[in-house]
A = this chain, B = another copy of it.
Amino acid sequence: MQKPSIPKGTRDFGPIEMARRNYIFDTIRSVFRLYGFRQIETPAMEQMSTLMGKYGEEGDKLLFRIQNSGEKAGEAPEKGLRYDLTVPFARYVVQHREEIAVPFRRFQIQPVWRADRPQKGRYREFYQCDADIIGTDSLVSEYELVKIIQEVFRRFGVRVCLHVNNRKVLAGIAEVIGAPDKIIDITVAIDKLDKIGVDAVNAELRERGLSDEAVAALQPILHQEAGITNQSKIAGLRQFLATSEVGMKGIEELETLFGLIGDEEWVELDLCLARGLNYYTGAIFEVKALDVQIGSISGGGRYDNLTGVFGMPGMSGVGISFGADRIYDVLNELNLYPEAMMGSTQVLFATFGPDELRYALRWAEALRQEGIATEVYPEPTKMKKQMGYADQLNIPYVAIVGGDEMAQNKVMLKNMTTGNQQLVALNELITLIPNH
């Protein structure tokens, strides 16, 4: 007999985990909708030709491939599982270009799959929650994503810091320090500043071929003064980047965006934020929780050419992705789930015999008509067993039905928190159940 298990890196979600996860998804979805985003879904499987070459060499290796029985083993599979939501979205935009009104504000909440080595907090199946605005290069879009981030974490009750940077500024820095061709090496290295520290970043920069002069010139960026205002940082950068056209364009964008955002303490211009993905071309974002050490819990940025690889050039956009699994860990650690949310069944009927059971079924239907989630224990078995079931599932009220209660057209309602019991009629019972 087989002992069952699930593939490594995947998870089952039981009722309590599901209630928590639904709370996270519902909150994010509500905010997306409030800002006028429209939901789409794409298939779990995409053509391999859609996926290959979009995530770098490393990414290609992490794709799950799908075979059906028509294909011989050894034949190259034509399909693969979705690796993120961005490439399927780009494919969607090109395929449905005739139906789409731009600017297109789309959101998408679906699982993705990566054949990463499973480890703590990293899974092979996990959800992404993405919102993008495409078809406009107005910085108002960046601003609205900042407001969405603020509202989502306000609703969760999680204190966060939003780190903002701009890829054009990073390109300008590369130019100014005399290493314009090293922009990718520079961003990859300084992206690690938080994790490995400034000395290791400098070593990596030299390894990646930057001259000692270039590394020296970069130091003011790596040693930003803590606590100075975003405006002062921008002023400093404006001097540093004065000779770089792209750098000054980046400064302009930062000024516009911070002008819209205003003076917000939770938003920080962070010149060491780079974000690994190379398709970003303007603003980049990363959100960190203040009260939990967990790394980035959402991030995104501006890209100039989402759909070029599918033959549709010039589609600019900006997007944000919320990491549901990390947010789940943060809410768990801070114990921030609303109490009411966990309420599934509110009343369980427990009965002493088959006639009482039939009586309870009628009452249960009446409660459900009132929107009260109700169960009837399906057998008139030992009362202890029925009460134990209510206990185990944290059902707050048990309506006990014996012959006496039935004769009076009532039930004995037990409040499982206080232990109090009272004999009540149907209309009383309905008014006694809170929050339905």
- On A, residues with C-beta under 8 Å from B are 1-7, 10-15, 18-19, 21-22, 33-36, 38-47, 49-50, 60-70, 73-79, 81, 91-92, 94-96, 99, 101, 103, 105-106, 111, 113, 115, 125, 133, 136, 138, 140-141, 143-144, 147, 151, 260, 309-311, 344-345, 348, 357-358, 361, 365, 368, 371-379, 389, 392-393
Contacts and interface: CB of A to CB of B under 8 A. Distances in A.
Contact of A39 (B22, B77, B79, B393): B22
A111 B357 contact: no
B66 A64 contact: yes
26 contacts: A1-B311, A2-B311, A4-B94, A6-B47, A7-B46, A7-B47, A7-B79, A10-B43, A10-B44, A12-B40, A12-B42, A12-B43, A12-B95, A14-B96, A15-B39, A15-B40, A18-B40, A34-B368, A64-B67, A66-B66, A66-B67, A70-B115, A73-B73, A105-B375, A143-B361, A144-B361
A384 to B, nearest CB: 14
Contact of A311 (B3, B47, B61, B372): B3
Interface centre among A78, A140, A310 (most CB of B within 10 A): A140
Contact of A125 (B7, B43, B65): B43
A103 B2 CA distance: 24
Given A15-B40, A33-B344, A5 B47 contact: yes
Contacts of A144: 361, 376, 378
A136 B36 CA distance: 47
A339 B99 CA distance: 21
Contact of A75 (B45, B73, B365, B392): B73
Contact of A66 (B34, B73, B76, B81): B81
**Leading 8 A-B pairs by shortest Cβ distance:** A36-B375, A10-B43, A15-B38, A1-B311, A68-B115, A138-B378, A36-B345, A140-B378
Given A358-B260, A361-B143, A378-B140, A43 B6 contact: yes
B378 A4 contact: no
Nearest to A117: B70
Nearest to A259: B358
A22 B39 CA distance: 10
Contacts of A371: 34
Contacts of A18: 38-41
B133 A378 contact: yes
Contacts of A21: 41
A44 B365 contact: no
A429 to B, nearest CB: 16
B43 A7 contact: yes
A136 B379 contact: yes
Nearest to A43: B10
B2 A49 contact: yes
Contacts of A125: 43-45
B3 A34 contact: no
A279 to B, nearest CB: 17
Contacts of A260: 358, 361
Interface centre among A34, A74, A376 (most CB of B within 10 A): A34
Nearest to A148: B368
A14 B99 contact: yes
Contacts of A103: 377-378, 389
A112 B397 CA distance: 37
B41 A12 contact: yes
A266 to B, nearest CB: 16
